[in-house]
Each structure stands twice: as C-alpha cells, then as structure tokens.
Amino acid sequence: MGRHTAASSRLGRSTGIFTGTRTLLTVALHQDRTKIAPWVGLISVLSATSILAYRWIFPELADRKTLAMAIGTNPAMQLVFGPPRDLLTNDGFNAWRAGALGAFFAGLMAIIIVVRNTRADEDSGRAELIASGVITREARLLVAVLMATVAAVALAVVCFMLTWVSGGEARPTAVLSLTFAASALMYAGVAAVAAQLGSDARTASSIAIAILGVSYVARGYLDSTGAEEWTRWLTPLGWLEQTYPATQNTLWPLIPAVLLAIGLVALALVLQRRRDFGLGLIPARPGPATAPGLRLGGLAVQVHRGSVITWMIGLAFLGLVYGNLVTSVGDVFASNPAMGAIIASGAATPEGLSFGFVATVLHLVGIVTAIMGAQILMRVYAEETDDRVEPVLATATSRPAYLGSNVLIAVASTALGMLAAGTVMGVVAATSDAGIAFGDVVRQAIVTIPAVWVLVGVSVATVGAEPSRRIAGWLVIVATFGITLLGPTFKLPDWMLGISPLYHVPNVQAASPAWVSLAGLGAVACVLYAVGFTGFRRRDIH
Amino acid sequence: MTAAKKVIAIEGLVKRFGSFTALDGVDLDVHRGEVHGFLGPNGAGKSTTIRVLLGLLRADGGHVALLGADPWKDVIALHRRLAYVPGDVSLWPGLSGGQAIDLLGNLRGGLDRRRRDRLIERFELDPTKRGRQYSKGNRQKVAIVAALASDAELLILDEPTSGLDPLMEAVFQDEIAAVKDEGRTVLLSSHILTEVEALADRVSIIRQGRISQTGTLAELRAQTRVTVSAWLAHPPADLATLPVLLDPHLDSHGRLTATVEPDQVNAAMAALVPHEMSQLTVSPASLEDLFLRNYTAHHDGTDSQRAS
C-alpha cells in the first residue's frame, strides 16, 4: 500500500478523482473549440438581432401594440416562443423571441458536447487510449461536463456583450444570457446521465435530445394553453421562464437549475461506476440475422432514414409555426409598411402582402430544407472516410449507382420536406381569414423545390468531384440565406440578389409567373449534378 | 507463362498522392489457382496496390490487368468475379452483421445461402449484433464470411485475419485451403508469417513501393543465406582466415555462429573440419529471416540483421 501511494504521488500531484482532468480538458477544448464557437455565435446572434430588428421594424408604439395584440392572441406563437410578457420594449421583445429558443439551442449545444466527448469517444476507441493514461475513471465524464460548462459561460458572456452592444439594457440582457447558460448546464447533466444509459453515441444523444424536446414541448403546451402558474415548474425550461427577463429580472429560479445540473452529474458519476466501458446500462437490441432483399437502395435508406425522419418532423413543425405567423402577422403588415417592404416588396393589397410573405417564408423553409439535403451529401463523404464505401464499390456496384442512390434520397427528401412544410402551412393559413388559399401555398412550395435542388447541387458537385472543397456546399446556403433575408433590407442591386437561386422562384399568384426561370434553375441543377457524377467516376476513393 | 494463366498482371505500376510516390514501379503476377502471399512492412504499398486492383484508385503509370481486363474501366464485370476483405472493416452502425453480409453478397450478385450459414457457424459469429457492437475480430469475421460465401473466382484479402484469435485463424486457414482446392485464386496480404507459410504457393515482397522479391518460398529460401552454428574444439585465432563464413561470431566458449551463402555450405563445412566441430546445426533461412532481410532498409548484401 505504501509503495502504491509513493508510486501514485510520483505519477501525479493529486490522486483524487480529478487526476488527469486538467490535461485532458486543455486538449479536448483545443479540439472542440471550432465546433463550440458556432453554437455560441448563433445563439448570441439570435438575441442581438431581435434587439436590432425590433427597433427597425417596430419604431412606433402603435406598431408595437399591434404586434403585442397579434402575438398575445396567437397560441401557436406561444407554443414556440413562450408567453409574451412585454412586447412594448426592446428587451421584452428579445426575451420573448430569443428566450425559449435560445434555451433550447443552448441545451442542444450542451448535449452534443457531452455526448461527443463521452459516448462517441468510446465508440471510436479513442476513449480507450485516454482511459489507459494516468487518469481517473471519472475524468473523461468530468471533462465533458466541464467543456459544456465552459461553453455555457462563453455563451453567457458573448451573448451578453453582443446583445448589450446592439442596444439591449444591461440587466434584462444579463438575466436572459444567464438562462441560456443555465439551460446548457442542465442539459449537460441530462446528457451525462444519458451517456451512461445508451449503448452508443446515437442512442445516448437520442435519449438526451428526446428529454430536451419533451421539456420544450411541455413548456410550449403549458404556455399556449394558459395553464396555472405552478405548472410551469413541471419542466426545467419552465423554471427559466420564471426569471421574467425584462419584466421582473429575478435570478433565484436559476438556483434549482444549477442544483439539478449538479445532481444529474453526480448521478451520472454513480451510474458510470456501475457500467462497463463501451457498454450502456440499456443493452442494445439485436438486429435481424438476415436481409435477403437488402441492396443499394435499402442501404441508402438505412443510412439516412433516421435523420430524414427527424428533419421531416422539424419541417412540418416549421410549416405550423410559419402558417400561424402568416395569419397573425398579416394585420401587423397592414399597419406597418416598413415591415411589408422588407418581407414582400411590391405587393399592393394586404392579401398580396400576406402572400408575398408566404413566398418569402417558403424561401426560408427552402434554405432549411437545403441544409437537410447538404447534410445527406456530407454524410456520403463521411461514409467514405469511415471506410464504408470501399467494400461497397469492391462489389459489382458502379460509382454512379452508389452516388445516385444517395443523391436520390437527397432530391426526394428535399422535395418531400418542402411539400410537408407547405401543406401544413397551407392548412393553417387557409383555416384563418387571411385570404390565403391552401392550393396557392402548396403550389408556391412546389415551385420553390428546383431552387432547393440547385443549393443541394453544390454539395453533390463538391462531394462527388472534389470533397476537399465540400465547404462550398454550406457556404452557398449561408450566402443564399444572407441575400434572401438581408438583401432587400440593404437594397442590394438585382444582379446581386440574383445570385440566390431563391430569387428566381416565380410567385404563383403573379399575373404571369416567370415559369421560364424554373427551367433555368433546373438547368443549373443538372449541370451541378453532372459535375458531381462525372467527378465521382474519375477520382480516387479512399 | 501465358496471359490466360495470369489472374493479376501488374507491370511498372506507379501511384502518386500529391508529391508522395506510394507505388514506384510495382510488378506483380498472380497465377490462376494459386494463393499468392503479398508481404511488406507497413506503408510499403500493399493496400494501395490492392485499391488500384479494385478500381478505387487510378494508376498514374504502368499496366494493370485483372482477369485480363482493366480494373479501372471494367469495374462491374470484374467485381462480379472477385470478393474483397479489407484489413480494417468498418460496418454500418445500424445494420446487423447478418444484414451486412447479405448486403455485400447481394451487391456482388448473390451469395450461396447454405455456405453463408455454414461459415457463420464455423466462425462462431453472432449475426444479430449491430455494427458498432462487434469487436475488431468479429467485424473482420463479418467481412470474411461475406467474401467466402460468394463463389468469386478471385479473393483479394488485405490483412484479413488481423484481430482474429488463433482458433479462428485456424478456421480461416482451413477455409482458404478449401478455396484453393476449388481452383480459385487468392491474393493474400498479411503480416502473419505462419499463415503465409501455410497457405501461399508464391510470395511477393513489396518495399517502398517496389517489389523487392518474388517467387515460391523454396526459391526465396534458396537465395537466402544459411545459418551455421557449431562448437569448435580448436577455434581459429582470426576468423578472417575463413572468408567463406559471413558475419562470423565466436564466443568465449568456442561457439561459432555465422551465415553462409546457400551454394557455399559444402565449402564452409570443409573449412571448419580442421577446427573439430561438435553440435553442428545448419539451418535454412527461416521465413522470419527472409522477411526481416527484405523489410530492413539495409538490403545491400551486408546483411545487418544477422549481427544480432
């Protein structure tokens, strides 16, 4: 025993459960910082832009009152964003628009960080290397949680600074930023427990994200049905609402949030001691022993099914939210020409304005759908670098057939996604008295599809021909997003707006819709796909 | 050797990755019906050669003929006739091992179900586990079963048994012997020398992107020095007086070890007789000697390996 202690003290300064934690944390943070930064940035931008947009779109008190009325009477908006406490001030608007969503995304960020640094590392075998070092059993889990904590703190600081600089008041902005950090801490705890339960990274993140989703929907349901105040304590995201940023600015509800986080991490540490390395407490279900009919198409479906189904649900939900937005914001437009100008320039009547808004919203849906398409193509490249393409191409499978089976999934699921979002949006819009026909919304969604295919085409071309340039697949989506959303605001010239494929989508309500531009989009898409397929035939496969 | 008997015929194959030359003029012939051992240190170019044969990488120079066709152009027709086992098998996380076997079989154009089930049993593989739950050895078994369950005339195996336990290694050797008896051809890249010794008819050794030696094991042995060891009652004062002995070493008890060119064994014996030998052993180069000699960078006749 004495020799053991001597050896231990020779190996490290401390023999507590933190041995090795610091070294590992430094390395892991260095590895992950570029993956964490976008989350921190996006959530902070979400908050800062509401401050900026609010003053610009609703300069007068009258506009703000209209907005408050439109939103206050729309349960669907509360389902997504939470209850509007005060839409007459800048910070109150921010607390409403960014509060619930920001907390959701902060939680998601924490889950991804924790699962990536625990389960995913065990799956890949990297954790084994780490675990064999001078490091305690607990260190890897602690490092993952500490990384999420660092991310939470960074989020609070960056979000506060950015929002404050954009014109938010210090106190409400601080409270709001702290709720984001608290959400990240709580769901880091949830993910730490989930990582002990699931038998692999995918199961672990599914469990944690499902819990986050349920808390979010429960909060939305309670908010939109006007349930009694105490019921908000039933979901952790409801606790964060109890801080009332911009109205009461109370911080004490964050205390139970932090306590919950600590409790969950403690539970995870106990559970980790009871499970075997590389296994979860929930054993994985066995699969079928045979698959006599499984071929290329079945493989592509198998590979992409999970994420496509999730996207479809998300897109339908997006349709629901935007459908409600269209109906309730129609009134706001009528009394706010500035907003109308941003959203749908050139429309003369309130109905025309609303439909112009429908078209613009469908552009945004198109961008979200294109992200799904690009993600499917990026997955194809990930399959290649994971050595799973090589054995397939070593069979009597041609390269075009392999790429084609995946591109088909991307093309079909983007079309279906647009259709799903458009149908839900059309149903919601048509049931209100905004004067928007169901058929028009669905038709508008359909004519948006070719533009989405062009956006996805850039990913097809790069992944197919030159994967080292595949970042272009994302850049084109970001650029299109920027042009679509900010272009009209900054009054960019037409040729610049025309870079965005969405700019060429005809409006189906126009007197003579520009159908010919659809053919143009189709042609561009064909060229991009041809580049991808030709390149994929010629290049080395790794 | 006529072209028809050559299943693989590679001449002067060059493959570059940017400024790095991975293959620098590889020549490799594999004859129909033989098991051809493909050996070489890590990074010598074994997997790169195999990937060119599979049409995954495009050759930058030289001629490559696989079953008489061009592996880059005639991919589909060729791949119907071959089966491949990679050295590092990565399975689809959502698919069970059984599904992966069937998928690969179907994509190749069908597999023999009875043979498949027999192999799963022989290799003691649980086909219901999902991809990520298999250990390294079991992932390897999935790929081996998928390849052996086909009736492909050529098997390309890239370190197929890495991670297999000795029992499974024996099963594997048994199955490959059966494949050979059926007249099928096997290109076997491996680091397990006993496996190659047991199975291979001919061997090619690749080093730094070139084939350094090729032939049957007997031929390779014939080119490699013989080890001589004996006790000498009257050891010579100066070993340099016995030039037939290479790298000679004499310890303080009079035990001599040295190597001798294969055609100089008789001369060496004659030279040693005056020194009164006892406990004489003359052993041909072991496979290990053979490979170490070929793997090391100082392959220039000085034979540095023997010094140890």
Average pLDDT over every residue of B23-51 = 94
User: Using a CB-CB distance cutoff of 8 angstroms, which residues of chain A are in contact with residue B143?
Assistant: 391
Whether the pLDDT of residue B56 is over 70: the answer is yes
Could you give the C-alpha distances from A405 to A148, A466, A533, in angstroms and in order? 38, 19, 12
Whether the pLDDT of residue A63 is over 50: the answer is yes
Write out pLDDT tens, residues A193-215: 999 988 778 788 888 988 998 89
Residue type, B269: M
**In angstroms, how far apart are the furthest CA atoms of chain A?**
91
Whether the pLDDT of residue A280 is over 80: the answer is no
Place of tokens 């960020």: A109
- Binning pLDDT at 50, 70 and 90, where does residue B306 land? very low
Kindly state whether residue B166 falls inside one of the protein's structural domains.
yes
In this structure, are residues A430 and B126 in contact, taking their beta carbons and an 8 Å threshold?
A: no
What is the nearest CA distance from A410 to chain B, expressed in angstroms?
A: 19
User: Are B105 and B216 part of one and the same domain?
Assistant: yes
User: Are B10 and B88 part of one and the same domain?
Assistant: yes
Could you give the C-alpha distances from B189 to B63, B82, B137, B196, in angstroms and in order? 21, 15, 17, 9
What is the nearest CA distance from A150 to chain B, expressed in angstroms?
A: 31
A394 forms beta bridges with: none
- Closest-approach residue (CA) in chain A for B80: A396
Q: Of the candidates B98, B107, B156, which has its C-beta nearest A392's C-beta?
A: B107
Given B220, B239, B266, the domain boundary residue is B220
Is the ipTM above a cut-off of 0.85?
A: no
Please tell me the predicted confidence (pLDDT) of residue A345. Answer: 46
CA angle A298, A300, A302 (to 5 degrees): 65
Q: Of the candidates A298, A303, A540, which has its C-beta nearest B57's C-beta?
A: A540
Residue A155, classed as helix, strand or coil, is helix
In this structure, are residues A147 and A29 in contact, taking their beta carbons and an 8 Å threshold?
A: yes
Contacts 24+ apart (CB under 8 A), A214-217: A216/A100, A216/A104
A276 touches chain B (CB under 8 A): no
CA nearest to A527, candidates A416, A453, A447, A466? A453
Place of tokens 């190996």: A11
- Binning pLDDT at 50, 70 and 90, where does residue B298 land? very low
Other CB atoms closer than 10 Å to residue A536's CB: what's the count? 22
Whether the pLDDT of residue B304 is over 60: the answer is no
Other CB atoms closer than 10 Å to residue B153's CB: what's the count? 18
Whether the pLDDT of residue A240 is over 80: the answer is yes
User: Are B111 and B147 part of one and the same domain?
Assistant: yes
Spell out the residues 6+ positions from residue A159 whose beta carbon is closer than 8 angstroms to its own. Answer: A40, A43, A44, A47, A48, A102, A173, A176, A177, A180
User: Using a CB-CB distance cutoff of 8 angstroms, which residues of chain B are in contact with residue A120?
Assistant: none
Kindly state whether residue B148 falls inside one of the protein's structural domains.
yes
Question: Which of A212 and B94 is assigned the larger pLDDT?
Answer: A212
User: Are B97 and B171 part of one and the same domain?
Assistant: yes
Answer yes or no: do A287 and B55 touch at CB < 8 A: no
What is the nearest CA distance from A378 to chain B, expressed in angstroms?
A: 16
Which is it for strands B35-39 and B185-189: parallel, antiparallel or unpaired? parallel
Alpha-carbon dihedral of residues A117, A118, A119, A125, nearest 10 degrees? 80
Other CB atoms closer than 10 Å to residue A183's CB: what's the count? 32
Question: Which of B307 and A163 is assigned the larger pLDDT?
Answer: A163
A390 touches chain B (CB under 8 A): yes
Could you give the C-alpha distances from A395 to A466, B88, B89, B111, in angstroms and in order? 23, 17, 15, 12
Domain of B244, CATH number, reads 3.30.70
User: Are B115 and B246 part of one and the same domain?
Assistant: no
Residues of chain A with pLDDT > 70, as a percent, come to 88
Quick check: pTM over 0.80?
A: no
Please tell me the predicted confidence (pLDDT) of residue A262. Answer: 96
Q: How far apart are CA B96 and CA B177, in angstroms?
A: 28
Q: How far apart are CA A452 and CA A416, in angstroms?
A: 12
Whether the pLDDT of residue A310 is over 50: the answer is yes
What is the nearest CA distance from A398 to chain B, expressed in angstroms?
A: 6
Sheet holding B61-66, edge to edge: B20-31, B6-17, B61-66
User: Are B115 and B143 part of one and the same domain?
Assistant: yes
Place of tokens 């969950």: A264
Looking at the structure of chain B, the number of domains it has is 2
- Binning pLDDT at 50, 70 and 90, where does residue A105 land? very high
- Closest-approach residue (CA) in chain A for B127: A289
User: Using a CB-CB distance cutoff of 8 angstroms, which residues of chain B are in contact with residue A468?
Assistant: none
What is the nearest CA distance from B57 to chain A, expressed in angstroms?
A: 5
Q: How far apart are CA B45 and CA A369, in angstroms?
A: 43
Whether the pLDDT of residue B301 is over 50: the answer is no
In this structure, are residues B125 and B97 in contact, taking their beta carbons and an 8 Å threshold?
A: yes
Answer yes or no: do A395 and B91 touch at CB < 8 A: no
Other CB atoms closer than 10 Å to residue A513's CB: what's the count? 16
Q: Of the candidates A291, A298, A386, which has its C-beta nearest B98's C-beta?
A: A291
Spell out the residues 6+ positions from residue A515 whose beta carbon is closer than 8 angstroms to its own. Answer: A506
Residues of chain A with pLDDT > 90, as a percent, come to 44
User: Are B123 and B242 part of one and the same domain?
Assistant: no
Question: Which of B168 and A75 is assigned the larger pLDDT?
Answer: B168
Greatest mean pLDDT among A84-93, A138-147, A412-421? A412-421
User: Using a CB-CB distance cutoff of 8 angstroms, which residues of chain A are in contact with residue B108?
Assistant: 395-396
Residue in B14, B116, B133, B136 to test binding to A, most A beta-carbons within 10 Å: B133
Answer yes or no: do B93 and A541 touch at CB < 8 A: no
Answer yes or no: do B57 and A287 touch at CB < 8 A: no
Answer yes or no: do B54 and A390 touch at CB < 8 A: yes
Whether the pLDDT of residue A340 is over 60: the answer is no
Kindly state whether residue B307 falls inside one of the protein's structural domains.
no
Please tell me the predicted confidence (pLDDT) of residue B224. Answer: 79
Kindly state whether residue B301 falls inside one of the protein's structural domains.
no
Average pLDDT over every residue of A168-180 = 94
Locate A105 and state its tokens. 């995304």
In this structure, are residues A332 and A93 in contact, taking their beta carbons and an 8 Å threshold?
A: no
User: Using a CB-CB distance cutoff of 8 angstroms, which residues of chain A are in contact with residue B106?
Assistant: 292-295
User: Are B231 and B89 part of one and the same domain?
Assistant: no
User: Are B187 and B251 part of one and the same domain?
Assistant: no
Answer yes or no: do A396 and B133 touch at CB < 8 A: no
Answer yes or no: do B102 and A292 touch at CB < 8 A: yes
Spell out the residues 6+ positions from residue A203 whose beta carbon is closer than 8 angstroms to its own. Answer: A197, A280, A282, A284
Please tell me the predicted confidence (pLDDT) of residue A339. Answer: 55
Kindly state whether residue B304 falls inside one of the protein's structural domains.
no
Whether the pLDDT of residue A367 is over 70: the answer is yes
- Closest-approach residue (CA) in chain B for A383: B92
In this structure, are residues A368 and A313 in contact, taking their beta carbons and an 8 Å threshold?
A: no
Q: Of the candidates A287, A294, A394, which has its C-beta nearest B103's C-beta?
A: A294
Average pLDDT over every residue of A272-297 = 83
What does pLDDT average to over chain A? Answer: 85
Residue A385 burial by Cβ neighbours in a 10 Å radius (0-12, 13-18, 19+): exposed
User: Are B216 and B234 part of one and the same domain?
Assistant: no
Q: How far apart are CA B109 and CA B112, in angstroms?
A: 10
- Closest-approach residue (CA) in chain B for A542: B56
Spell out the residues 6+ positions from residue A381 whose beta carbon is closer than 8 angstroms to its own. Answer: A463, A467, A470
User: Are B153 and B276 part of one and the same domain?
Assistant: no
Answer yes or no: do B86 and A199 touch at CB < 8 A: no
Q: Which of A82-96, A158-172, A289-303 has the lowest mean pLDDT?
A: A82-96
Kindly state whether residue B91 falls inside one of the protein's structural domains.
yes
Domain of B165, CATH number, reads 3.40.50.300
Spell out the residues 6+ positions from residue B273 whose beta carbon is closer than 8 angstroms to its own. Answer: none
A355 forms beta bridges with: none
Q: Of the candidates B76, B92, B106, which has its C-beta nearest A303's C-beta?
A: B92
Kindly state whether residue B293 falls inside one of the protein's structural domains.
no
What is the nearest CA distance from A293 to chain B, expressed in angstroms?
A: 8
Residue type, B67: L
Please tell me the predicted confidence (pLDDT) of residue A5. Answer: 45
A:98-137 residues touching chain B, CB 8 A cutoff: 123
Write out pLDDT tens, residues A136-160: 778 889 999 999 999 999 999 999 9
- Binning pLDDT at 50, 70 and 90, where does residue A17 land? low
Please tell me the predicted confidence (pLDDT) of residue A3. Answer: 45
Answer yes or no: do A396 and B127 touch at CB < 8 A: no
DSSP characters over A317-356: HHHHHHHHHHHHHHHHHHH-HHHHHHH-TT--SHHHHHHH
CA A336 to chain centre: 30
DSSP characters over A512-536: S--HHHHHHHHHHHHHHHHHHHHHH
Question: Which of A516 and A279 is assigned the larger pLDDT?
Answer: A516
- Binning pLDDT at 50, 70 and 90, where does residue A411 land? very high
Answer yes or no: do B92 and A290 touch at CB < 8 A: no
Residue A91's H or E segment, with its range, is helix A90-117
Answer yes or no: do B103 and A298 touch at CB < 8 A: yes
- Binning pLDDT at 50, 70 and 90, where does residue A361 land? confident
Average pLDDT over every residue of B67-79 = 94
- Closest-approach residue (CA) in chain A for B56: A541
Q: Of the candidates B57, B82, B94, which has its C-beta nearest A302's C-beta?
A: B94
In this structure, are residues A509 and A438 in contact, taking their beta carbons and an 8 Å threshold?
A: no
Q: How far apart are CA A537 and CA B76, in angstroms?
A: 13
Chain B residue set in contact with A, beta carbons under 8 Å = 51, 54-58, 75-77, 79-80, 82-84, 86, 88-96, 98-99, 102-104, 106-109, 113, 126-130, 132-133, 143, 156
Q: Of the candidates B84, B103, B108, which has its C-beta nearest A291's C-beta?
A: B103
- Binning pLDDT at 50, 70 and 90, where does residue A332 land? low
Write out pLDDT tens, residues B221-258: 877 788 899 998 888 888 888 888 888 888 888 899 99
User: Are B230 and B157 part of one and the same domain?
Assistant: no
E strands within chain B? 6-17, 20-31, 35-39, 61-66, 82-85, 154-158, 185-189, 202-207, 210-216, 226-232, 246-250, 255-260, 277-283
Answer yes or no: do B103 and A202 touch at CB < 8 A: no
Q: What is the DSSP letter of B112?
A: -
Average pLDDT over every residue of A56-77 = 76
Whether the pLDDT of residue B30 is over 80: the answer is yes
Q: How far apart are CA A101 and CA A78, in angstroms?
A: 11
Locate A201 and state its tokens. 């990274």
Domain containing B174 equals 3-220
Whether the pLDDT of residue A7 is over 70: the answer is no
Greatest mean pLDDT among A11-25, A272-286, A424-438? A424-438
CA A504 to chain centre: 26
A34 touches chain B (CB under 8 A): no
Answer yes or no: do B91 and A388 touch at CB < 8 A: yes
Answer yes or no: do A299 and B103 touch at CB < 8 A: yes
Average pLDDT over every residue of B130-159 = 92
Q: Which of A89-98, A331-340, A517-526, B33-42 has the lowest mean pLDDT?
A: A331-340
Chains A, B: CB contacts within 8 A come to: 121
Average pLDDT over every residue of A256-265 = 96
Q: Which of A388-392, A485-489, B17-21, B269-273 has the lowest mean pLDDT?
A: A485-489
Kindly state whether residue B303 falls inside one of the protein's structural domains.
no
Residue in A205, A309, A395 to test binding to B, most B beta-carbons within 10 Å: A395
Write out pLDDT tens, residues B147-190: 999 989 999 999 999 889 999 999 999 999 999 999 999 999 99
